[in-house]
Structure 1
Amino acid sequence: MKILNASLLALALALPLSACGERPQANDTSGETTLGQKVREATNDARKKMQEGNISITSDGAKVEIAPNGDLLINNTAVALNDSQRAITQQYRKQMISIAEAGIEIGVQGANLGSRAAGEAIKGLLSGNTDQIEQRVNAEAEKIKASANQLCDQLPALMATQQQLAAAVPEFKPYAKMDQGDIDDCRAGNVQLP
């Protein structure tokens, strides 16, 4: 199951933008570049929509969604849930949002890194001091890698909740496709976008 599609799509959209090479604002105390701030502003809308709207679950041909109130919709039809099933559905939704938001944050970090790297390269070329550029960029890239690992660390709990939901709600079982391979792919950096 490609549960990371939304968050990784945000990352994929942010990273190419990072090549624009915008510099950090002089009075920026957060450490974000102008581009990073623009990406964050753009993704704030996506975060709001995730919190307030239905979360789509990737499936083969069927439209599967979880509403903010915990309703499970399959092809726009609500599945009858008792309180226990709804609690599991809400937990699953909460975990999916957490992972998507972590992916969005990685995208912002990537935009900042790209902007800084381009600025450092230009500065290094103009000054003739290119020795430490790669070292500084690699240090920032390691921070992003650590964030990605933290995202991957959330997947086992998501898979456990998905399995619990599939056991509790038989209608959901055909759509519970996440497996250990998805977790392994995340940790290996082999997650594919649609």
Structure 2
Amino acid sequence: MTTRLLLPALLLCLPIAACTAPDSGKGKAPADQSAAAPATSALDTDGIGKTVQEATDKARREISQGNISIANGKTPKAEISPQGDLLIDGKPVTVDAHQRALLLDYRKQVEQLANAGMEIGVAGANLGVKAAGEAIKGMFSGDTQGIEARVNEEAKKIEDQAQKLCGLLPAMMAKQQALAAALPAFQPYATMDQSDIDDCGR
């Protein structure tokens, strides 16, 4: 996955998966509040959270143990291996010790950004489940006061996490530029610019 597209993909995929809940029945409201508990429990928050966490753990393993793609759709397929090899169209580019160190440093930064993005994705998934649960409880109990405030409070935490992720981008661009300057074969893949940082902040 390209660096430019990494964050949006993570943020879109995880919450969508998490908001898929089992059918809560035929859509008929219970006659009284005593029936609300079974209907609410149909939103399996534990199961959804476990599924999202398992997917995240798998993705983390793949990122740390496998090759990381740096292709941008306009250049030949390129990857950085866990050993610091630059592979273009599956063929390793000859690098010296300094270039390999820069490749590993850049790869580490990509991993850090990916992991931060996944944390936000998990938080977004949990927020979606919580919001749905709050809405269902309010619908059956008639108590809707405070639902929006509680959900917004959780959303603010995600916003703070996103700001921290954006804070990683300047260092990432610096590492990308340093690698491009030292390794000509990498230059076509150094597509990050200031607009990426500015757009993340917004």
Q: TM-score range by the shorter chain?
A: 0.7 to 0.9
Gapped regions of structure 2 (runs ≥ 5): 22-42
Q: Which residue of structure 1 aligns with residue 15 of structure 2?
A: 15
Between 54-63 and 8-17, the greater mean CA deviation after superposition: 8-17
Of the candidates 75, 95, 102, which is equivalent to residue 88 of structure 1?
A: 102
Q: Is the 2:14–2:124 Cα contact (8 Å) retained in structure 1?
A: yes
The yes-or-no answer on 1:35 pairing with 2:48 is yes
Instruction: Output the CA distance in 2 between the equivalents of 1:101 and 1:185.
Output: 20
Gapped regions of structure 1 (runs ≥ 5): 25-32, 189-194
The yes-or-no answer on 1:68 pairing with 2:82 is yes
Of the candidates 50, 69, 81, which is equivalent to residue 56 of structure 1?
A: 69
Q: Which residue of structure 1 aligns with residue 26 of structure 2?
A: none
TM-score using structure 2 length:
0.84
Deviation at 1:64, TM superposition (A): 1.1
Q: Which residue of structure 2 aligns with residue 30 of structure 1?
A: none
Of the candidates 113, 124, 137, which is equivalent to residue 127 of structure 2?
A: 113
Deviation at 1:36, TM superposition (A): 2.2
Q: Which residue of structure 1 aligns with residue 137 of structure 2?
A: 123
Taking every aligned residue pair, what percent have the same amino acid on both sides? 50
Q: Is the 1:96–1:158 Cα contact (8 Å) retained in structure 2?
A: yes
RMSD: 1.7
Deviation at 1:4, TM superposition (A): 4.5
Query: Partner amino acid for 2:162?
Result: A
The yes-or-no answer on 1:180 pairing with 2:197 is no
Q: Is the 2:170–2:197 Cα contact (8 Å) retained in structure 1?
A: yes
Spell out, residue by residue over 1:7-47, the C-alpha distance to the aligned partner (whole angstroms, 9 max, x if none).
432321111233335354xxxxxxxx431221010121111
The yes-or-no answer on 1:168 pairing with 2:166 is no
Structure number with higher relative contact order (C-alpha < 8 Å, ≥ 6 residues apart): 1
Q: How many correspondences in the alignment? A: 180
